[in-house]
């Protein structure tokens, strides 16, 4: 029941809003079908599904809480069930690990709870969800893990977030090495500051912060979601098949 060449399916975690929403829409623009996940924003997720369906592609939204490590096996079974009922297949082609949270927490104020929460959402769930879904991904598929520009440029208050994303970047290189025999590529997309509601919408809604961040980019502005989604869609294309184990920063030239 593998997918036909004409129908490829991507799974985007955290696809109800922000960067994940644009990734899902751009995959559909490139002719792919999409399963997206949401944690609490079911109506927003269903609206993304509607937009994708209006474009002529198939889509579905499933609940997934990346902080709940114990829910991974149940979620994978839901994915399999959705694939069977909606697509009459048991495979996906692309996995985009995008779901995440943001918070600016000075190092001296970080608690063990903060650390464990970011660990579970940004690294542990990415690691083990990928492991659980690997048998469901077609040979010659794509795995894309979303990181951050703050793994390269230190930003006070991001020590926990960036540390977990750094772990994901290392994991991605090892993943590419270990699954390469199946023709599956694994890459990292690392956005710079983007105007979304991530981390309380600070990059979008605080003028002073937005102006400062824009001044750090060679292109003189803060990113928009559509600056990121197209790169993810490209990495899922045949043209990107020789890109593997790479960290691709999409920041407009931040802190060069």
- Cβ density class 84-109: b for 16+ within 10 Å, e for less: eeebebebbbbbbbbbbebeebeeee
Beta-sheet strand order (sheet of 9-12): 59-63, 33-38, 9-12, 92-97, 137-146, 185-191, 247-250
What is the DSSP pairing of strand 247-250 with strand 137-146? unpaired
Distance from C-alpha of 156 to C-alpha of 253, rounded to nearest angstrom: 20
Distance from C-alpha of 238 to C-alpha of 119, rounded to nearest angstrom: 33
Contact 45, 61 (CB under 8 A): yes
Which residues are designated catalytic?
A: 161
């Amino acid at each position: 029941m593998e997918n036909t060449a004409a129908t490829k399916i991507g799974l985007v975690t955290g696809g109800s809003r922000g960067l994940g929403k644009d990734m899902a829409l751009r995959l559909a623009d490139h002719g792919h079908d999409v399963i997206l996940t949401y944690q609490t924003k079911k109506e927003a997720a269903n609206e993304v599904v509607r937009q994708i369906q209006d474009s002529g592609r198939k889509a579905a939204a499933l609940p997934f809480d990346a902080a709940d490590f114990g829910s991974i096996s149940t979620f994978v079974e839901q994915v399999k069930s959705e694939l069977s009922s909606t697509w009459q297949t048991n495979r996906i082609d692309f996995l985009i690990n995008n779901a995440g949270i943001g918070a600016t927490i000075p190092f001296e104020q970080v608690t063990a709870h903060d650390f464990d929460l970011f660990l579970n959402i940004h690294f542990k769930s990415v690691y083990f969800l990928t492991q659980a879904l690997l048998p469901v991904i077609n040979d010659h598929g794509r795995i894309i893990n979303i990181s951050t520009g703050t793994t390269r440029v230190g930003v006070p208050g991001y020590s926990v977030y960036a540390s977990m994303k750094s772990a994901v970047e290392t994991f991605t290189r090892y993943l590419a090495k270990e699954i390469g025999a199946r023709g599956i590529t694994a890459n990292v997309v690392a956005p710079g500051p983007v105007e979304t509601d991530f981390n309380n919408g600070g990059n979008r809604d605080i003028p002073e912060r937005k102006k400062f961040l824009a001044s750090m980019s060679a292109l003189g502005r803060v990113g928009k979601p559509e600056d990121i989604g197209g790169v993810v869609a490209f990495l899922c294309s045949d043209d990107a098949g020789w890109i593997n184990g790479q960290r691709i920063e999409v920041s407009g030239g931040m802190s060069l």
